Amino acid sequence: MGSSSVFLLFFFFFPIITTLVYGQSESSLPAPVIPLAVKSPYLNAWVAAANGSSPGAISPTFWTTQRQLGWAGFVRVDGQTFQWLGKGGTAAKALASYVTPTRSIFTMAAGSLEFNITFLSPIEPEDWNKQSFPFSYLYIDAKSSDSMPHTVQFYSDISGEWASSDNNNVVQWNTTDTGSSVLHQMQRTSMQPMVETNEMAEDGTVYYSMAKRPDMTWQTGTDVSLRGRFTGGSLLQNIQDTNFRTISPNWPVLAFAVDLGNITQTSTPLVWAIGVVRDPLVRYVKGTGVEVRSSYFRAKYDSINAALDDFLADFDNAKTRALTLDNKIMSDGAAVSTQYADLLAISLRQTMASMDITIGRDDNGKWNTSDVKIFMKDIGTGRRVNAVETLYASFPALLYLNASFTGPLLEPLLEYQASPQYHNSYAAADLGSSYPDALGNNTDIPVLGVENCGNMLIMAYAHAQKSGDGSLVARYYDLLKKWTDFLVANSLHTNGYTSADGQVGPDMSNLAIKGITGIFAMSKISEVVRKSDMVNYRNKATQLETDWEGLAYSSNHITTDYGVASSWSLIYNLYAARLVNLPVNDQLYKNQDAFYASQASTAPRFGFAYDTNDNGRAKSQWTIFTAGTTTNSTTRDLLVSMVHERAFYNASGNPFPTTYDSVTGRSIPLNGRASPAQGAMFSLLALNTPNKAITLAGPSSKGGPNVPAIVGAIIGVVVLIAIIGLAYFLWKRRQRRRSKWDYSEKGAAPFSISRKRTSVGVLDDNQPIEVTPYIVDAEAAAIAARQSSGTDSLYQNGYSKAREAQNGSKTYLLPGQRPGLSAAGSSYSGTSEGGGSSYYVPSTTSGVSSELRVEVEELRREMAEIRAQRLQDEPPPMYQDPPPGNIASSSAQTSEKSGFHVV
Ligand SMILES: *[C@@H]1O[C@H](CO)[C@@H](O)[C@H](O)[C@H]1NC(C)=O
Ligand SMILES: *[C@@H]1O[C@H](CO)[C@@H](O)[C@H](O)[C@H]1NC(C)=O
Ligand SMILES: *[C@@H]1O[C@H](CO)[C@@H](O)[C@H](O)[C@H]1NC(C)=O
Ligand SMILES: *[C@@H]1O[C@H](CO)[C@@H](O)[C@H](O)[C@H]1NC(C)=O
Ligand SMILES: *[C@@H]1O[C@H](CO)[C@@H](O)[C@H](O)[C@H]1NC(C)=O
Ligand SMILES: *[C@@H]1O[C@H](CO)[C@@H](O)[C@H](O)[C@H]1NC(C)=O
Ligand SMILES: *[C@@H]1O[C@H](CO)[C@@H](O)[C@H](O)[C@H]1NC(C)=O
Ligand SMILES: *[C@@H]1O[C@H](CO)[C@@H](O)[C@H](O)[C@H]1NC(C)=O
């Protein structure tokens, strides 16, 4: 065995060794708003059990937090009843809570019983059948806290609030014994297909079910009667209430009880399955018509009952898969930092739950499992379907989990825009604005052209690069080429264009580099699909990039607007440049690292605003993309800690939002709560996933990195990893933290900011969700309005203005100036600024030398990345240990009476 094989072996085992050593398998802090059953856009239940409070004292809600979801849990221990879910009774005590990527766990105490309630929303990267099944598990393990036997009964029910947004609607229900399980179901008596109200489906059937066990009883009836029975010492009667009625006031509930008898501990967990089933799932524009599409799992199952039986029977395996995935993600995350791993744990379910994985039928009406399309709801921002900038933000999680998810997300966008139904020369922002209707949108609004063409090309290439499947980019090559040509004409000077954040300006550095990266992505696509286009696009991209460095960089940083030294922003689109390996001067990344670090001392509590031209709003997805652009771990950790501070802010009342005030943390309308964009948290891991050899035929069977055959360099990298890994391993071992189960001790929480830390109550940010039709921010919408009404001369015609800019007759605005607000007279001309910067290396290359430069750049960067991520892990300057120990050990055993669901 050669020495290189030995190193490769080490390389192979390295992750396993580190997993054993790090051992972080769950978040180091409790999350403020905890995902319970979060598996689809309409199965999305959370509980705001922040700060150690008991989930038995708070009602779960839909993700909007505007809608309570009746989901009650009680336990009777030696005759005394405690509530562990929902509110109204005597709350069981919460000893601890934490989240993992797939699970939320509460450790509870009631009388002499200690029990864990675990909410598992499976994430199944290898299996679309399982991933598409809109169900979550709830399971309970219990043991007596004094080792003595105690008599124990558990009870749980759900109300009709899951089946509709309006309590005045009539619901009907049914209970089925399949032989292996008992299934309760409930739905509106008059369902409204494809209608959602206040974000909830009006065409869903909610299921609550349990595998049959001899000690289980069930019943349907009013909440008062069934909960009253249980607290009064009885079990359930296995009978149905058939008096169908409105959701309230005589709340019909679907209940189960289990009599465990006199036990010291459960031998197997109690397991429930909860789900919201819709069929069909979406309507999708197909040619001149509309097709209805169903969930992927329908190809395998004729009936929900059979699918649900299998889901319950598969619990042990599902749990094992979940633990394996959780451990992998958390140890990959912990290799960056504990805080980073925390962000992975709190973000993944909301990303995965935003999607419906669908299949169509063939001409004979049979399911066609080759016809897979995935639809993503822009949860937290509106009802847009496959909103392009949200997809772009979510991509890292999907690329990391299984890049095969990304193809079917892009396919419907591509298919629609390649059809005669779509007329615009630039990429659309979405497939329409009323999920679950994906009917397309042909409105001619070019202002977002650079944004969306750039996003689409980057994502299309990232899909091919990480999955090895070149069939998608081959199929839509001409469309992608059209968008590339649009970018070639319009990217460097973004005159007339807007970013999805709502930023406007003739020379926006961040938007420009996205467009340029899109062109480069196309050069990589053409390398596989149509080689004759490659050199041209590669040269265009590298030339524009060189020009961009000259224009965008001044005063030691990339400015928001070319030449305006006082402006700066998180240049998050450089993340995409790294992802697709666009050659960018390394010094530029380093200078940005230093610049961000230099701003840390003036950063507000919740981190940098993403742009100095915005009014102090931070955006988690762009902050973490920016962390992905760093080469310095100090700066990386600084950015991670900013997002972490908000994500685990215990006064938060909302599921992890993307957009919030950087000073107060308040999430503001269109705040992206529960947004799939949080898939951005995986940005650091996605960079490390190997590229695959792209084949045109379809998914490649042989994976592995597409490494240039420079053997010496490979060995060098491996040796470096081995040495650095060992050093890191030893260092990390010294850093072992105490168990997060031990909430009482100070020092358990790894994080705090040394600066001002005012104590605030729960954020008052629970305004109803505002729905935005097309453009994310109000400002951009206003611009679009001005443009379409013709009152804004600058934006009357994006194309001609942009071309004009290229021809040299430029009108520049200073940042802060907005078109229509003042005369666009202030100007700066030409490209001279960049010439003076210290690092600027003009290099106009072409053909073979350009190609070589790219390969060498790629390799060099890979090495630099590995070095940066393994080597330097010192604590960032402004963000220091240790914490104020602000995690309450538990809530009191309160008995909170409320008008809702009285026992
Ligand atoms: C990724 O997903 C595809 C499609 O479901 C599947 O065939 C493949 O096995 C998955 N790969 C991995 C590594 O999970
Ligand atoms: C609850 O989970 C914790 C952490 O995994 C474990 O230590 C404890 O034994 C569990 N309790 C029960 C009753 O299973
Ligand atoms: C309830 O389910 C049973 C099968 O368990 C079925 O025979 C019956 O028709 C259903 N009733 C309603 C009202 O759907
Ligand atoms: C539970 O079991 C213990 C030990 O076997 C026994 O002492 C106790 O009386 C039992 N309690 C009940 C209610 O059966
Ligand atoms: C199934 O779908 C694929 C992809 O859309 C399509 O190419 C194929 O023709 C379909 N098969 C049938 C039998 O309709
Ligand atoms: C990383 O940044 C920190 C803070 O700006 C600086 O002290 C350190 O020297 C940098 N490390 C490297 C390797 O550049
Ligand atoms: C969280 O707990 C700490 C310590 O008990 C307390 O000071 C703080 O006010 C609590 N925050 C909220 C939002 O309840
Ligand atoms: C298409 O987008 C425009 C611009 O935002 C919007 O006004 C319109 O309502 C959208 N139409 C559909 C069908 O989504």
Q: Rounded to the nearest whole angstrom, what is the distance from the C-alpha of residue 53 to the centroid of ligand 8?
A: 43
Q: Rounded to the nearest whole angstrom, what is the distance from the C-alpha of residue 637 to the centroid of ligand 6?
A: 12
Q: Check residue 204 and give its pLDDT.
A: 98
Does position 496 have pLDDT exceeding 80, yes or no? yes
Tokens of 566: 């006082």
Which atom of ligand 3 approaches the CA of 242 most closely? 13
Q: Is the CB of 270 under 6 A from ligand 2?
A: no
Q: Is the CB of 774 under 6 A from ligand 8?
A: yes
**Residue range 4-21, pLDDT digits in tens:** 444 444 444 444 444 344
**Residue range 340-351, pLDDT digits in tens:** 999 999 999 999
Of 358, 367, 368, the one to substitute when testing ligand 5's pocket (max ligand atoms within 8 A of C-beta) is: 368
Tokens of 610: 């993403």
The mean pLDDT of 777-781, rounded to a whole number, is 40
Q: Rounded to the nearest whole angstrom, what is the distance from the C-alpha of residue 632 to the centroid of ligand 6?
A: 6
Q: Is the CB of 112 under 6 A from ligand 4?
A: no
| pLDDT confidence bin for 651, thresholds 50/70/90 | confident
Give how far Cα 739 sits from Cα of 24, 28, 745, 800, 887, Å: 10, 9, 10, 62, 14
Does position 79 have pLDDT exceeding 80, yes or no? yes
Which residue has tokens 């949200």?
A: 390
> Rounded CA gap, 701 and 699, in Å?
6
Q: Is the CB of 422 under 6 A from ligand 8?
A: no
**What backbone phi and psi angles, to 5 degrees, belong to 158?**
-125, 155
Q: Rounded to the nearest whole angstrom, what is the distance from the C-alpha of residue 42 to the centroid of ligand 4?
A: 45
> Rounded CA gap, 638 and 592, in Å?
13
Residues in the chain: 903
Q: Check residue 722 and give its pLDDT.
A: 54
Tokens of 131: 């991933």
| pLDDT confidence bin for 51, thresholds 50/70/90 | low
Which residue has tokens 């989990």?
A: 401
Tokens of 66: 């505007």
Q: Check residue 287 and give its pLDDT.
A: 87
DSSP 561: B
Give how far Cα 377 sits from Cα of 191, 431, 675, Å: 21, 10, 9
The mean pLDDT of 131-155, rounded to a whole number, is 98
Q: Check residue 698 and give its pLDDT.
A: 63
Give how far Cα 585 sits from Cα of 488, 581, 800, 857, Å: 21, 11, 32, 9
The mean pLDDT of 184-209, rounded to a whole number, is 98
- Ligand 1, atom 11, lies closest to the CA of 126
- Ligand index nearest the alpha carbon of residue 149: 4
Which atom of ligand 5 approaches the CA of 368 most closely? 1
Computed over every residue of the chain, the mean pLDDT equals: 81
| pLDDT confidence bin for 670, thresholds 50/70/90 | low
Q: Which has the minimum average pLDDT: 62-71, 608-617, 685-694? A: 608-617
Task: Write b or e for each residue in 448-462: b if 16 or more Cβ atoms lie within 10 A of its Cβ, otherwise e.
Answer: bbbbbbbbbbbbbbb
**Residue range 676-702, pLDDT digits in tens:** 999 999 999 999 999 999 999 865 444
| pLDDT confidence bin for 150, thresholds 50/70/90 | very high
Pairing mode, strands 289-295 and 282-286: antiparallel
Q: Which H/E stretch holds residue 75?
A: strand 71-77
Does position 779 have pLDDT exceeding 90, yes or no? no
**C-alpha Rg value of the chain to the nearest Å:** 28
Q: Check residue 674 and give its pLDDT.
A: 97
Give how far Cα 69 sits from Cα of 675, 746, 902, Å: 20, 35, 14
The mean pLDDT of 628-654, rounded to a whole number, is 95
Pairing mode, strands 43-47 and 61-62: antiparallel
Q: Answer with the residue of higher pLDDT: 756 or 70.
A: 70
> Rounded CA gap, 697 and 695, in Å?
6
CB-defined site of ligand 1, < 6 Å: 125-126, 128, 402, 404
Cβ–Cβ under 8 Å, residues 850 and 542: yes
Using a pLDDT cut of 70, give the percent of the chain over it.
74
- Ligand index nearest the alpha carbon of residue 268: 2
Does position 60 have pLDDT exceeding 70, yes or no? yes
The mean pLDDT of 221-239, rounded to a whole number, is 97
**Which residues lie closer than 8 Å to 699 by C-beta, 6 or more apart?**
404, 467, 468, 469
**What backbone phi and psi angles, to 5 degrees, belong to 348?**
-70, -40
The closest of 420, 422, 426 to 447, measured between CA atoms, is 426
Residues 889, 895, 899, CA angle at the centre, nearest 5°?
125
Give how far Cα 193 sits from Cα of 692, 799, 801, 897, Å: 42, 40, 44, 37
- Ligand 4, atom 2, lies closest to the CA of 149
- Ligand index nearest the alpha carbon of residue 887: 7
Q: Rounded to the nearest whole angstrom, what is the distance from the C-alpha of residue 442 to the centroid of ligand 3?
A: 45
Of 591, 593, 636, the one to substitute when testing ligand 6's pocket (max ligand atoms within 8 A of C-beta) is: 593
- Which residues are bridge partners to 261 per DSSP? 152
Of 284, 433, 498, 779, the one to substitute when testing ligand 8's pocket (max ligand atoms within 8 A of C-beta) is: 433
Q: Which has the minimum average pLDDT: 276-280, 828-832, 858-862, 871-875? A: 828-832
| pLDDT confidence bin for 608, thresholds 50/70/90 | very high
Q: Check residue 859 and give its pLDDT.
A: 52
**Residue range 799-817, pLDDT digits in tens:** 233 323 333 322 222 323 3
| pLDDT confidence bin for 723, thresholds 50/70/90 | low
Tokens of 104: 């939320």
The mean pLDDT of 452-456, rounded to a whole number, is 98
Does position 709 have pLDDT exceeding 90, yes or no? no
- Ligand 3, atom 13, lies closest to the CA of 174
Q: Rounded to the nearest whole angstrom, what is the distance from the C-alpha of residue 111 to the centroid of ligand 2?
A: 16
| pLDDT confidence bin for 789, thresholds 50/70/90 | very low
**What backbone phi and psi angles, to 5 degrees, belong to 869?**
-80, -25
Q: Rounded to the nearest whole angstrom, what is the distance from the C-alpha of residue 744 to the centroid of ligand 2?
A: 17
Q: Answer with the residue of higher pLDDT: 560 or 826.
A: 560
Of 886, 887, 889, 891, the one to substitute when testing ligand 7's pocket (max ligand atoms within 8 A of C-beta) is: 886
Using a pLDDT cut of 90, give the percent of the chain over it.
72
Which atom of ligand 7 approaches the CA of 51 most closely? 1
Q: Rounded to the nearest whole angstrom, what is the distance from the C-alpha of residue 171 to the centroid of ligand 3?
A: 15
- Ligand 3, atom 1, lies closest to the CA of 174
Q: Is the CB of 490 under 6 A from ligand 8?
A: no
Q: Which H/E stretch holds residue 211?
A: strand 205-211
> Rounded CA gap, 460 and 518, in Å?
9
> Rounded CA gap, 2 and 10, in Å?
13
DSSP 463: H
- Ligand index nearest the alpha carbon of residue 325: 1
Identity of the highest mean pLDDT range in 440-454, 715-729, 844-858: 440-454
Which residue has tokens 């960049």?
A: 834
Which atom of ligand 4 approaches the CA of 150 most closely? 1
Q: Is the CB of 632 under 6 A from ligand 6?
A: yes
- Ligand 6, atom 3, lies closest to the CA of 634
Of 126, 129, 399, 471, the one to substitute when testing ligand 1's pocket (max ligand atoms within 8 A of C-beta) is: 126
The mean pLDDT of 638-651, rounded to a whole number, is 95
Q: Check residue 680 and give its pLDDT.
A: 98
The closest of 354, 406, 413, 361 to 380, measured between CA atoms, is 354
Does position 774 have pLDDT exceeding 50, yes or no? no
DSSP 210: E
**Residue range 463-486, pLDDT digits in tens:** 999 999 999 999 999 999 999 999
- Ligand 7, atom 1, lies closest to the CA of 51
**What backbone phi and psi angles, to 5 degrees, belong to 805?**
-60, -40
Distance separating the N- and C-terminal Cα atoms of the chain: 71
DSSP 770: P
- Ligand index nearest the alpha carbon of residue 773: 8
> Rounded CA gap, 148 and 150, in Å?
6
- Ligand 5, atom 5, lies closest to the CA of 371
Tokens of 732: 């990390």
Which atom of ligand 2 approaches the CA of 265 most closely? 13
- Ligand 3, atom 12, lies closest to the CA of 174
Pairing mode, strands 216-222 and 252-263: antiparallel
Does position 412 have pLDDT exceeding 90, yes or no? yes
Cβ–Cβ under 8 Å, residues 514 and 458: yes
Helix axes 509-529, 534-552, angle to 10 degrees: 160
Q: Check residue 845 and give its pLDDT.
A: 34
> Rounded CA gap, 37 and 60, in Å?
10
Mind giving me the DSSP string for 159-193?
Answer: EGGGT-S-TTSEEEEEEEE-SSEEEEEEEESS--T
Does position 837 have pLDDT exceeding 70, yes or no? no
Q: Check residue 2 and give its pLDDT.
A: 43
Does position 620 have pLDDT exceeding 50, yes or no? yes
Q: Is the CB of 149 under 6 A from ligand 4?
A: yes
Q: Rounded to the nearest whole angstrom, what is the distance from the C-alpha of residue 607 to the centroid of ligand 7?
A: 22
Q: Which has the minimum average pLDDT: 346-360, 705-719, 777-791? A: 777-791
Q: Is the CB of 217 under 6 A from ligand 2?
A: no
Q: Check residue 113 and give its pLDDT.
A: 98
